[in-house]
Amino acid sequence: MDILYTRCAGLDVHKKTIVACLLTPGSRGRPTRTVRTFSTMTADLLTLAGWLGAAGCTHVAMESTGVFWKPIFTLLEHSFTVLVVNAQHIKAVLGRKTDVRDAEWIAELLQHGLPRRQLCPGASPTGTAGVDQAHERPWDASERVRSTGCEMLLEGANIKLASVVSDVVGASARAMLEALIAGTTDGAVLADLAQGRMRKKLPELERALLGHFGPHQRFLVAQQLAHIDSEDATIERVSAEIAERLRPYEAELQRLQTIPGIGRRTAEIIGAVVGVDLARFPTAGHLASWAGLCASQSRECRQALHWKDSER
């Protein structure tokens, strides 16, 4: 097979160490292999980059191992062509698997141009940091939903607020909870804090807000509300940072929102994770696979797909 890259390296990446195999031109047309092991500490990663650069290395390949490849990719991508490849595509021969052999195998495949580059979040407009933020915000939002466990505290005090309102920390319900925490027990006074369309439910609210709301419940619900406020503030900060990073792509975000079911937040996540350059995806199927939306290849799924094809 032809050698495409005469100076390249394969990295076998682990949590604490990296085994690097550097291939350079040797005698009689056979490449020279040099294997070194580095720590994953930043100082050692810089040493690795310096060693590869001094040898004239142009291409580096490594497996997409968990999250361990990310800092290495970030550090090397500005000086080398870095390929992050799917481990399933470069399996070594059974019975010959060691860290050194894995690094050599990756380097051998790379010099012939065989590994297929896997799409990396770092290649999106916002970079890896933007992807992390895009994933973090929904996590914060889901934590906020779970933190409304104050509903269980209310049930324990026989306050049936959740039976009347859909959101026990919405504007009207929040005002009632704060009044309960302050010591108000009169159902009519509490119900009168309802706002907007909620005022149509005053009789139901008055009955639902009569219970036995003791000091310990007041304390615990107050802590829950403080926790929700803290999460809301975190979500706002992350949202502002994402919006700032995506500002140059406002036109693309607006266009994404013309798709039915795609709102601002979903458009931002798509922009951060997928990017706006769809030329990286050969087909719509590749994009769906990258987004984790591929349908299951179950018998029922295959039958449904066959039925759809026959209808065309």
- Average the pLDDT over each of 14-23, 116-125, 144-153, 257-266 and give the range with the smallest value: 116-125
Residue 205 lies in a domain: no
Residue 308 lies in a domain: no
pLDDT of residue 236: 86
Residue 140 lies in a domain: no
Kindly report whether the global pTM for this prediction surpasses the value 0.75: no
Range of the domain at 65: 8-118
- The CATH number of the domain where 110 resides is what? 3.30.420.40
Residue 41 lies in a domain: yes
- Average the pLDDT over each of 21-35, 85-99, 274-288 and give the range with the smallest value: 85-99
* Length of the chain (residues): 312
Our count of domains for the chain comes to 1
pLDDT tens-digit series, residues 192-230: 999 998 999 999 999 999 888 889 889 999 998 898 888
Q: Which residues contact 55 (CB under 8 A, 6 or more apart)?
A: 7, 22, 24, 34
Residue 61 lies in a domain: yes
Contact between residue 169 and residue 181 where contact means Cβ atoms under 8 Å apart: no
Residue 250 lies in a domain: no
Q: Which two tokens stand for residue 168?
A: 């026990």
CA pseudo-torsion sign 287, 289, 293, 294: positive
Residue 37 lies in a domain: yes
Smallest Cα–Cα separation from 186: which of 202, 210, 212? Answer: 210
Q: Is 66 left (phi over 0), alpha (psi -120 to 50) or beta?
A: left
pLDDT tens-digit series, residues 67-83: 788 889 889 988 999 99
Residue 132 lies in a domain: no
